[in-house]
Amino acid sequence: MVTVPQHRVILVGMYQLAVRTSSEIIFAAHAGRGSPMPAIALTPEPSVLVLAPTGLAAACARRFVSARFWEMGVADDHVGRLVVTELVTNAYRHVGFGHIVVRVVPEEGGGLVGIEVWDQGAGMPVIRAAELHDLCGRGLALVAALVHDWGVRPLNEEGKIVWARCAV
C-alpha cells in the first residue's frame, strides 16, 4: 500500500472530494458504503492529488496540475498538463490497481516545477521505439523530450515514483 504524504489532499474517484485549509482536518466517505476514512492532518504545499485508477484519472490530474501552475503564477501549463497526462495514463494502463498519487512540487529558486506520479506497480517505465502505425507507446519519449529531466525511484513499501522537472 502506498503511504500518502501528509499534505493538502484531494480525494477523487471512489472517494468524495474534500479539501480544506492547512489548519483543518478532512474526512471523506467511501462512496456507496458511507464508511468514514481516517482523518488526515493537513499541512501547506506541496499539493497532493490521490486518484482511483479509472479512465477519468488523467483528466482530473490535468485539471489539478493546471490549477497548481496557476497558483504559482505560471501562465503556460501545456508541458505540465501533457507530462501528468502521460504519467497518470501509464500508471492506470500498466498498473491498474491501488491509488495513483500526483504531487506538484515547486523547486527553490524558481524556474523548475517537479511533477511526481506515484503508483503501486512493480514494473519500471522504459522508453521504447514506437512503430509508425502504433497507437500508443510514445508517451515517455515525448515526456523526455519536453522536460528538463525525469526519472524513476522506488517507494519504500511497494511501487514507484515517476518524476519530471518542467521549466516554467
pLDDT, tens only, 50-77: 999 999 999 999 999 999 999 999 989 9
pLDDT, tens only, 115-155: 999 999 999 998 888 888 877 888 899 999 999 999 999 99
Range with the lowest mean pLDDT among 8-17, 82-91, 107-116, 121-130?
Answer: 8-17
What value does the mean pLDDT take over residues 96-120? 93
C-alpha span between 133 and 93 (Å, rounded):
20
Inform me whether the pLDDT recorded for 23 exceeds 50: no
Inform me whether the pLDDT recorded for 44 exceeds 50: no
Is the whole-model pTM more than 0.75?
no
Average pLDDT taken over every residue of the chain: 78
Q: Who has greater pLDDT, 159 or 44?
A: 159
Whole-number pLDDT of residue 46: 65
CATH code, 48-167: 3.30.565.10
Whole-number pLDDT of residue 42: 41
Inform me whether the pLDDT recorded for 12 exceeds 50: no
Range with the lowest mean pLDDT among 37-41, 48-52, 79-83?
Answer: 37-41
What value does the mean pLDDT take over residues 31-47? 44
